[in-house]
Amino acid sequence: MRWYLRSKIHKATVTEANVEYVGSITIDEDLLDQCGLDIGEKVLVVSNTSGARLETYTIRGERGSGVMCVNGAAAHLIKQGEEIIVMGFELSDKPVEPKAILVDKNNRFVMYLTEKAGDKTPALA
């Protein structure tokens, strides 16, 4: 068994960082659906801006809002305006085809990305 990337939101912009909220990351429900992440699912969040990496879980954000809110203690590591990648993984005995999406600066879906073993650059789906 190995851990494989299953879901990815690439180049999202943090719309809010709320240290007062009890942990998690709030994500627009449209984006959750498009990349295959579930509510409450454990995710790895990586900041392209600061290099910070953290694990948390997803909370459903208002559909169509573009919300990408880092909550709780994680808000000390990743701030509003930072560019992030959100990734979900699956434990499997065979490779998993990831569902990766690229979003614009307003966290609106742009396109699906494909990543093949050995490729360094995602391609258009």
Please list the active-site residues: 24, 57
For residue 15, the enclosing domain spans 2-124
pLDDT in tens, 51-78: 999 999 999 999 999 999 999 999 999 9
Structural domains counted in the chain: 1
Does the pTM surpass 0.85? The reply is: yes
pLDDT in tens, 79-100: 999 999 999 999 999 999 999 9
pLDDT band for 28, please (50, 70, 90 cuts): very high
Any idea what the CATH number is for the domain that residue 120 is in?
2.40.40.20
Instruction: Give the H/E segment covering residue 26.
Output: strand 24-28
